[in-house]
Each structure stands twice: as C-alpha cells, then as structure tokens.
Structure 1
Amino acid sequence: MVGLKPSDVPPTPGVKFLGAGAAACIADLVTFPLDTAKVRLQIQGEAQTMDAVRYKGILGTIITLVKTEGPRSLYNGLHAGLQRQISFASIRIGLYDTAKQLYNNGRETAGIGSRILAGCTTGGLAVIVAQPTDVVKVRLQAQSSLSGAKPRYTGTFHAYKKIASEEGTRGLWKGTMPNVARNAIVNSAELVTYDLIKENLLKYNLLTDNLPCHFVSAFGAGFCTTVVASPVDVVKTRYMNSPPGQYTSAPKCAWTMLWREGLTAFYKGFVPSFLRLGSWNVIMFVSYEQLKRALMKSKPTIDCTTESSL
C-alpha cells in the first residue's frame, strides 16, 4: 500500500468538504504559474493587445513574464485563487458524492446519468457562490505592467472594491452564466471521468486503491476535461477580463472571437490548459484522497478527546 490506508468507515460529507478545499489550495499553489500563462495566452489577440502579441507556448510565456514583469507576475491573483478554491472546490468536489447519492436514490452503484447530474449541480452551485473570486483572479492574472502601464488593480481587495464601485455588484458576478456552463461541463467531465477510471482500475484489479491508482485516474480526468472545456474556458476568460462595453454578452464574445480569429481561437492556450489541468488534477486528487484518509484516521482521536472533556 502506497500512502495512507483507506478508512474502514466511509468519509463523512464534512471530511470531504474540508479535504476538497484544502487539496485544491495545495494544487493551486503548485500550478498557479501555468494558470497565469494560460490566461495570458487566452487573452492574446484581443483588440487592445493586438499590437503587443508576444507570448509563444507555455514555456515561452512563463519566460517572457519572468523577464519582462518579474517572477512575482506568475503569481498575480494567487490570493483570490486560494479564496476561490476554499469556497469553490469545497462545494463542487466535496459535495459531489452527496449529490450523486441524492440523484441515485441511495442505491449502491451510481449510473452515468446520476454522476453527470451531480457534477452539473455542484459545479453550478460552486460558481454562484465563488464567482467574485474568479473574476478578481482572472483580472489580476491578465493585467500587465509592461511599458510602465499603471495596473488596474494594486491587489486583491483593491480589485474587489474597484470592480464593485465602478461596475456594481453585477461586475463581480460578470460572466456567471458562461462560467456556470463551463463548470457544469468541467465538473462533470473531471469528476465523472475520475470516478469511472478509478472504479474500473479497481474492478479489474489493474491497480489497488493507492497513489498510483489515484495518479492514473486524475491524469486521465485532466486530459478529458481539457478537451471538453477549453472552448468555454477561453470565452469565459475573455469575457471576464473585458472592460465594460467591449462585449454585450458571452455569446457575443464567442462570435467576435470566431469572426476575427477563427476556430483556433477557442483552443488558445490548450497546452498550458492541459499541463495545468493535468498537473492540477493529479495533485488535487492525490492530496484529496490522502487528506480524507488522514482526517478519518484522526476523527476517532478527536471524538475521544471531546468525550473525555465532557
């Protein structure tokens, strides 16, 4: 057995909720530079940046950012990113099994339909709660300090305050509908794929329930998710980063991209998206599985301590 041994008692919803948020923050800390590079590649080609196209590939983008804006630019928006994961991942991943059981009427084995519905439900709910953190994260990642340009936002809380004052509450929830659509797709693809790969690896005794199994399942989930979600992700990033009035809606943003840049625009940043999602999924799911086991292992100790104090 590689890693902690599975608990004899299934993890509680609370353990899954806390474990998912913590695991997602660990994954974000490691992969955030890839996410920043992905955002810069996705917004490249917008009207206001057409005269400054300079990013080529994931490695080239990271090197260019370090050379021109310093290493810290790779972590622009990290605070908002961690705030997002604490609220976002806890709901969409931590409550997935609960929603799956609800749609499955408590039966032991869930069908594809129940899994997809559960992924869509928790993914959409998570967006509604965490959307302001996502808007701020994207804005901070996208802003450049080249040519002495004054950045729109000096920090995370300044971004929240400025967006709210200039664009109103709607500004903080800008792009909610395309983001709900994206995360319904992403969450379903990610969690259902992970579920199915892991389930079949165990069913056919290809691997045991340990780190290698979690690694393979997470890597497969990351690739499938990137293929399915990349077009919606690009539109979401462009729309959320746009100044007021540039696009009247997310569909208008998508149409403008198609008309000006062609179909390939929807897969801009695909390689960094996959590198980011693939590595993020591996780190998150491996951490999540181990955190659930660690929390369940410590639970009896916590319960005994509580009872003795009473």
Structure 2
Amino acid sequence: MITTIPPTTPVTASWHDIAHRCLLLAGCAERFSVQLGTARLPDPEVVDKVMRLPAADIAVPPGSGQPFVLAEHLAARGGDIDEHDLAAELAAAWTGDDTATGAGSVLAAVRAGQPWWESASTLYDGQGSYGNGAAVRAIAAGLVPKAGIGAVAATARRAAAITHTHPLALDGAAAVAVAVALSTYGQPSRTLDANRFLDIVAGQLRCPELRSCLNIVRALLRHRAGPAEVVGTVGNADTALRTVPAALTAYLRHPEQPDAAIAFALQLAGGNHAIPTITAALAGARSPQLLTPRSWRTPGDDMRARRAARALSAVQADA
C-alpha cells in the first residue's frame, strides 16, 4: 500500500535542521536511558536528575549509532541501499565482540567474512531476530527527503533484513521510519492528529499483531495513560512488538514537547534503550526549531549528526 503524505503547513525549518535534531536527540536520549539502567518506572525526579547530567559522562553500549550509519549510507547513494555495503558498514561501526548473540552475532559474522544473509536467516531456529535494533536503525530511513511513505517503509525493511528477518522486526522498522517521515512533514505548526498518524503507520504494516498494538496505543492516548499504565498494557520488552508501540505512545502523549516526551519514555523504558531513542527521534524531527541543551550532547555526536544531515539535505537538492 502506497500512501501519500497529506498536505501540511509549509516547513519553515531546513531539512538539515530536521535531520540534525532528529539524529542528535535520539543519541541524547539513549545516553540518558543508559544512565537509568534497568530501573523499572523510576520516579520523575530521578529522570529529571539524569536529564541534567553532562552527556559526556555517560557511556553508550555496543550497537549504538546505527541510525548514523544508515543515514550516511543513504545519503551517499541518493536515498537507496546496497545491502552488502551496508552490512559491512554496520559491522565496522559495531563495537561488540565475537561472543555476541542475536542480531549482534550477524555483525560479528560479517566482520569474520560470513555473508550477512546466511547469518541473519538462521537466528532463533530460522525465525530470524524480532528484536528492536532494526527499528532504531530505521530512524534514518524516515529522513530521506524525496521519499514517499511507501518508499520509506520499503527502505526500512531492506535495511532491517540485514540483521533482522522476522516479519515483526521488519514491521517495526517500517513503522518507525514512517513515523519519522510523518513527523518531519508535520512540523512545525500543524496540529498532530494522532489517529490519522497511526492510520498511516498501520497502513504500512503486514503483521496483525503490531496493527493490534497500535489500536491499544489509541486507547492509551484517549485515556491519557501514564508510564505505569503503558508498561502494564503494551509492555517494554526489547522486541519490536513491544518497543514500537511504547515509543509511539510516549511521543504522541507529548508531540509538541520533546523534553516531556523523552522523560515519559525514560520512565517506561525499564532498560530498553530503544524506547527513548525512537521517541526522541520523533520529537526531534517534529520540533527541529527547539534548541537541544548543550549538556545533553557530546561534540562527537553533534558533529556526526550535522555531517549526516548535510549529506541527506543534498539528496533533497537532487530530487
């Protein structure tokens, strides 16, 4: 199903600003979630304290930075993907070791010279990984300026399949990429219609399980559910099926307030770094005009986000 993006208020921020803020804020939120560890439903005061820590004091785990890798890959190829090159680039950037399990073992195998398609397809007794790593990576697929919604979802699926071949993982990646694309086109002044937003995301899904979870998200939004209710309803396990609905709920509860959306996501993450990372990417894409506090970012993350954003802006110029 190919859906065109509905007419919106003209974008006043440059595409560079949108991509930069999306990628940068995603990196900031991941650092905060690392600092919280696996705390279940931390107090808002604890979350606030963590969000005031200097980012440079917080180390990030192996596997971080995949949206940057995909953004740079897409920019270098005019928005397209070469799966073989992308697999090599992801493996080179990955900081895990050869003892990794799950999707990380695919990147370890690629570094050892094994084809990615052989490793990815054999995970979990041939089911493929249904974790949330591909959904985080897919943030970048929603930042290709010239792509329509159908193309965005297809790109996210191709990028995901390098490490995640389970249908739910592919759906999760498509959902995140489409949500990012909708957020970029909806900023800065158009009132966000959460039901329409979720309708368009659901239109790109193939698994009834994730579509059903999006209906649960609608109910949570209607009832203005808090973090405890979200965790109790959709969960926060590190699968695509749980991560994506949780992140969408956090974002859609506070679509115009990135700091509030990130704080909400951090309260319900429970050690699942992908939930606040995806939430922050959506919030940053929608509100690129808002300044990111200097303490939140490291010079390295800021520079890399700017470099990727410049390259993606050039794709728009060629469109």
TM-score normalised over the length of structure 1: 0.35
TM-score normalised over the length of structure 2: 0.34
Greater C-alpha radius of gyration:
1
- Structure with the larger helix share: 1
